[in-house]
Amino acid sequence: MAQITLKGNPVQTVGELPAVGTQAPDFTLVKSDLSEIKLSDFAGKKVILNIFPSVDTGTCATSTRKFNEKASSLDNTVVICVSKDLPFAFGRFCGAEGIEDVLTGSSFRDTSFEDDYGLKITSGPLTGLCSRSQ
């Protein structure tokens, strides 16, 4: 179990991130068009995960914009922004912001993503959401 902070207050997560050098667990997330996306879809590519509680917070929205700016210049690399937000929230945000160079994935259907990656917040006001991680 990892301890993180929210506005300076300690909160817990379900576990730890996968160790550097280990195989990342496969996952199934839901894109804004309600189709599914899996890590295994990108075999042979570098995958960057931008994980956060909600695109509707300032810091999470900013990270999505920044990754979108950088994504188009990365060779053989895909950036996936992940949260438990509904796919419609991602679609609304990306449409309004002109976000086109990152993919989005919601874990609302299958919570194994945040469990397998040790990112589910287990205490505090954001219990059940993903901790921020990149």
The CA distance from 120 to 134, in Å, is: 14
In the block, tokens 């259907």 appear at 109
Helices assigned H by DSSP within the chain: 58-71, 87-97, 112-116
Is residue 60 flagged as an active site residue?
yes
Q: Which of 60, 81, 94, 130 is catalytic?
A: 60
Q: Is 21 left (phi over 0), alpha (psi -120 to 50) or beta?
A: left
Active site members: 60
